[in-house]
A and B are shown apart, each in its own frame.
Chain A
Amino acid sequence: MNPVSIRDLAKWYGEIAGLNKVNLELQPGIIGLVGPNGAGKSTLMKILTGQLKPSYGEALIFGKDVWKTAAVRRRLGYSPEGDSFYEDMSVLAFVRAMGRLCGLGGSADAFAREALGKTGALEYAGKRLKACSKGMRQRAKLAQALVHKPDILVLDEPLNGIDATGRREMLRLFEELAAAGATVIVSSHILEEIEAVTSRIVFLAQGKVIASGALAEVRGLLKDHPLKLLVTASEPRKLGARLLESGLVTGIVFQRRGGELAEDDLVLSVPQVESFYRALPGLVRELGIGIDRLVPLDASVEAVFGYLVGEEMGGGP
């Protein structure tokens, strides 16, 4: 049984569709939710955590409808985007109180301290929330989501306000949790960071899932948008000619650097990525040239999302 199953989910706000017939099966690992403002990310997260009633369809947590069965939310942890705390509480008291809401009794204090330790917030556990910085508050929010050790974590913009070092720690924590069997659903506008840790990305636009899967898989499905690869080779013209002749690339652009033509940089348009990567070592050996660098230019989450939205709108990016 998958931890999260979403079936024909729709949510309407009057005449506005927040979500439109969304179907997803999510397995343990880190799942990134990507989409512009108004795409339906927050609505999906709120339905997934039992805060909103779907207009149609159902969101199942371990096979149970999360809206109808409150008890199943014990297996969920949610960190909302907003900063809405009880400001007079200390960080520890807040996390402990949230633990009690999840059913922890006398052990809530120990669990709260453990969660604060995991998120690196234990050192300021006694500090009042109103005196905490944005980063500290973010960690406290994460700790309250973790306090009862849930199977599924739903994190809305969990990296906001955290510095670069802190973000690395948080991402490492997500990886640890995923490795321990948790399903971590992360929404973030910091796409590069999501990309670095997610095993699967769900692209949302206008309330619909426009693509879902590993980033490389989704990128590979975009046949109308050949992958752009930057290649720095010792003899670029020779390589370019051979690649065109073999049909592995559909176009070559010489990369300008600093306003001058630099012949050692090529931007290739590659329609069949796997065939290209299989054939390239043989070609390089055959030509007796060296390759210093091979970088995909439009395989990032942002680029893929741009293509997807373009296709969804009925045109190119």
Chain B
Amino acid sequence: MTEESLEINEADLLSPSPEATVVDRWTLSSAPEESRAAAMAWWPVARIGLKLVIKRWIFWVFIALGLINFLFFSAMIYFLAGLAAQLKGQRFGEGPLEFARNFIFTGTGESFRDFITSQNTVVMLLLAISGAVLVGNDFRFRSLTFYLSKPLERWQYFLGKLVATSLLVSMLTLLPCLALFIEYGLFGDTFDYFFESRRILFGILAYGLLVSVGMSILLLGVAALLQRTISIVMVWGLIFIFLPIVTEVIHEAAGGSDYWKLLDFWSLLQWCSNAFFGIESGLYSGQPWCPIAALAAWLGAALWAFWSKTRAVEVVS
């Protein structure tokens, strides 16, 4: 033992100060009026997620891409309405109009379905890029600890993330499609279109919600498992680009057996959209419960992946 080690005592320097006896009542447990209702605890999670994404320029690029398609459809509705008004009563007037309607935008279930489906490509790209920001980084950098130590149930964390992702997707699919539906109805001579097209409205809402929620659940599962953007993009590409090609090839090789199509998430969404809009299609000819079960299996697997990752907060290696 040396003299120096005894004389320099850091603990003395850090001893409690006499003025450290202060203070006002610090704890908040007696002020419940400051607290948000527990049932809405998921909303701040969604809000944080949305803020994180909309701060990135790439998000606005995808929104702009989605908007181009929307503006095109919207302009065509306007153009057709104008054309219809101009050609009304004229000789040969209905002929060119019908011709144009067949090609562009007819206000039918097929056209709205096709609009959402065409937006799905942008949605797929947006989610692939946003997955790490929305979910993956929480696991990768262990930000999850900030959520799980707060008065939040795990399902509320999940719901918050799901709402944030679904809102992003619906900004590109459901909401613009509804806007197109309203626009189309308003350009008619009467409002009968709205009353006659309740099935179409149901189709838009159901398909839009399925795309928004279904793809979001899938993303949450993939992002929780893989965490890094590059890995998420690769698996996303595997699901949405490679898998449809492979299932098509197997489908052909297997003598046209429709069961192979059930592996393809896109096909399942498409099958559902046809069912929602009441459109006949040759996508799948078997029992209707099979595509529903296949879709449920996809979403169930994603939910399980997400759930298992939030249950197991790693603290030891």
Is A193 part of the contact surface with B, judged by Cβ < 8 Å?
yes
Chain A residues whose CB sits within 8 angstroms of the CB of B22 once the complex forms? 176, 179-180
Please give the distance in Å from A29's CB to the nearest CB on chain B: 12
Interface hits, A102-139 → B, CB 8 Å: 102-105, 107, 111
Is B20 part of the contact surface with A, judged by Cβ < 8 Å?
yes
Is A75 part of the contact surface with B, judged by Cβ < 8 Å?
yes
Known contacts A86-B52, A175-B16; is-contact A100 B6 (Cβ 8 Å): no
Residue of A nearest to B152 (CB): A70
Please give the distance in Å from B222's CB to the nearest CB on chain A: 21
- Could you list some 9 contacts between A and B, CB below 8 A? A46-B313, A74-B35, A76-B149, A86-B137, A89-B52, A167-B14, A172-B16, A180-B26, A192-B11
Please give the distance in Å from A88's CB to the nearest CB on chain B: 6
Contact, CB under 8 Å: B142 / A71:
no
Encode contact with B along A183-194: 1 for CB under 8 Å, 0 otherwise: 000000000110
Interface hits, B1-43 → A, CB 8 Å: 1-3, 6, 10-11, 13-17, 20-29, 34-36, 38, 41
Is A5 part of the contact surface with B, judged by Cβ < 8 Å?
no
Interface of B is mostly: loop
Chain B residues whose CB sits within 8 angstroms of the CB of A73 once the complex forms? 149-152
Residue of B nearest to A46 (CB): B315
Residue of B nearest to A11 (CB): B315
Contact, CB under 8 Å: A98 / B150:
yes
Chain A residues whose CB sits within 8 angstroms of the CB of B151 once the complex forms? 70-74, 101-103
Interface of A is mostly: mixed
Residue of B nearest to A181 (CB): B27
Interface centre among B17, B25, B27, B137, by most chain A C-beta atoms within 10 angstroms, is: B27
- How many residue pairs between the two chains, A and B, have CB atoms under 8 Å in the bound complex? 171
Report the Cα distance A154→B313, complex, angstroms: 17
Is B96 part of the contact surface with A, judged by Cβ < 8 Å?
no
Report the Cα distance A75→B231, complex, angstroms: 38
Q: Chain B residues in contact with chain A, CB under 8 A? A: 1-3, 6, 10-11, 13-17, 20-29, 34-36, 38, 41, 44-45, 47-48, 51-52, 55, 137, 141-143, 145-153, 156, 311, 313, 315-316
Chain B residues whose CB sits within 8 angstroms of the CB of A176 once the complex forms? 20, 22-23, 26
Contact, CB under 8 Å: B28 / A43:
no
Report the Cα distance A42→B142, complex, angstroms: 14
Contact, CB under 8 Å: A150 / B28:
yes
Contact, CB under 8 Å: B16 / A197:
yes
Extra pairs beyond A104-B36, A149-B26, A150-B29 (6, CB < 8 Å): A16-B316, A51-B148, A72-B151, A101-B45, A176-B20, A192-B11
Please give the distance in Å from B66's CB to the nearest CB on chain A: 23
Contact, CB under 8 Å: A78 / B149:
yes
Of B26, B51, B149, the residue contacting A181 (CB under 8 A) is: B26
